[in-house]
Amino acid sequence: MMRRFVADLHVHTLLSPCAAVEMTPRNIVWQAVDHKIDIIAITDHNACDNVPAALEAAKGTTVTVLLGMEVESREEVHLLVLFDKMRQMKEWELFTKAHMSGRLNDAARFGAQFIVDADDNFIAEKNELLLSSLTAGVAEISAQVKRLGGICIASHIDRPVYSIISQLGFIPPDVELAAVEVSRHMNAQDASVRIPAIGDLPVITASDAHVMEDFINGPKTAFYLEQPTVGEIRQALLSQNLRRVVV
Amino acid sequence: MTVEELITLLPLTVVSGQSKLGHEITGGYVSDLLSNVMGQACAGNVWVTMQGHQNIVAVASLTGLAAVIIAGGVKLDKDAAGKAESEEIVILSTLLSSFEITGRLYQLGIAGK
């Protein structure tokens, strides 16, 4: 049976150097339960090390965690990538590792990058500089995500930086996007009028939370699905099989 | 000054648009944000960028640029070269940084306008 799921497909944990330490997977899941957020995607910059902790923390709760990452392309375009299976995510992680800059993080300048478990225990600090572009371009990234069975959503396309439109002027036809995301600064319903470059692409909105208050109060997108999976979200974005998206 | 004269004066390699080197240069612009270039660059400008994405070809065509200079030794993306050639867009490359090539353009009298 089809039901309405409130989703936030863009949430950073404390692995992202720009996110607050309160953004532990456990805290995020607990807040999601309290605030009736049904689906969250953990989307740290160029890394997915805190996804397992979020999956573990969500066990036995009403919250579904989707496997995600916010990737930065060679052109400094941010893209959300989402997968259903850990096997796909692991494959994707290999691709990102092969395309990292090789620079190390300077925690004093950029912030620390913490990996934790489902009980908020410190596991490790990630050394690679995550706030950096991969050596792969947007088209290559989107093709690889498609090959692995995931979906790509262009992040905060209304923003003047790190957006596919700010960097590339318009959305190239060879980039396989399931949707575009607008930030909390733009009403998603106005987006395709205010940004004609969106064309016919579906529009979603998400919190892009780096602190808990933004996660709780930031914008969300509702999906009508049978199951809270990336595969069904893809169908909803295409308005297929009675699945649909409401912004 | 024409694009052809420019490439005799600076360390520039022609990547595409060999047949269109006779265009007169009206000024210059530097940016890696393509939406900004579309809004700010003028027809006949040379544009200095470190983007190698194929969208630079469309932006150059849309804006009517005399040439695009890809700085810092960045390579034009694979698909972009064919597109630039078929649309007869002049793309030049240099190993010099954006700062250095822009400074040399300015010394030659090419200003921002």
- In which domain, by residue range, is A73 found? 3-246
Share of chain A above pLDDT 90, in %: 98
pLDDT digits (tens, 9 = 90+) for A156-212: 999 999 999 999 999 999 999 999 999 999 999 999 999 999 999 999 999 999 999
CATH number, domain containing residue A49: 3.20.20.140
> How many domains are there within chain A?
1
- Nearest chain B residue to A197 by CA distance is B35
pLDDT digits (tens, 9 = 90+) for A89-130: 999 999 999 999 999 999 998 999 999 999 999 999 999 999
Which of these, A159, A148, A165, A141, lies nearest to A72 by C-alpha position? A141
The B residues from 38 to 77 touching A (CB cutoff 8 Å) are 38, 51, 53-55, 58-59, 77
Query: Considering CB atoms only, which of B36, B38, B55 is closest to A172?
Result: B55
Residue in this structure with the two tokens 């030659």, named with its chain if needed: B108
Q: What is the ipTM of this complex?
A: 0.84
pLDDT digits (tens, 9 = 90+) for A47-64: 999 999 999 999 999 999
* pLDDT of residue B113 exceeding 80: no
Taking CB atoms and an 8 Å cutoff, what residues of chain B touch A72?
none
Average pLDDT, chain B: 96
Global pTM? 0.93
Average pLDDT, chain A: 97
Confidence of residue B40 (pLDDT cuts 50, 70, 90): very high
Cβ of A169 and B32 within 8 Å?
no
Q: Looking at residue B78, what is its pLDDT?
A: 85
Domain B3-108 has CATH 3.40.1390.20: yes
